[in-house]
Structure 1
Amino acid sequence: MLQHIDGLDVGRSGATLMPDNTFEVRCAFVGSLHGYAAELVTRQIAGLLKMPCLHERLDSGRVAERRYRLERAASGDFLRRMRYASTLTLPKLPSPRRLERVPLVALLSRALATFEADYDHVRSGDVSPSLPVWANCLVSLDPVSLDRSNAAGMDQADFGVASILSTRAERVVVRDLAAQGWLDVLPTRGRGKGRYLRLTAMGTAARGRGAALVRAALQRWRARFDAADVSRLERLLAQVVEGVAVQLPAHFTSYGPGDGSVTGGSFVPADPGPPPIPAHGAEWPVVLRAPENAAGLSVPSLLSQALTAFAIDYQAAGEKFEGLGDPTGVEQHGRPVTSSIDSWAPEIVSNPQTLELVLKLVDQLDAADLATLGYPREEILGKL
Structure 2
Amino acid sequence: MMTTIQNDVRCDTFAFKEVARDGAARAGELTLTHGTVQTPIFMPVGTVGTVKAMRPDELVDEVKAQIILGNTYHLYLRPGLEVIKLHGGLHKMMGWNLPILTDSGGYQVFSLKELRKIREEGVEFQDHISGARHLFTPEKVIEIQETLGSDIMMAFDECPPAGAEERYMQESMARTTRWEKRCLEARTRRDCALFGIGQGGTSERLRRQHLEELGDLPFEGMAIGGLSVGEETQAMYDTVEFTTPMMPDHKPKYLMGVGKPQDLVECIARGVDMFDCVIPTRNARNGHCFTSRGDVVVRNAVHRDDLRPLDPDCDCYTCQNFSRSYLRHLLKSREMLGPQLCTLHNLRYFLRLVGQAREAILEGRFEAFRKRFHQLQAEGGSR
Q: Point out the structure with the larger strand share.
A: 2
Which TM class, normalised by the smaller chain length? under 0.3
TM-score, structure 2 as length reference: 0.17
TM-score, structure 1 as length reference: 0.17
Q: Point out the structure with the larger helix share.
A: 1
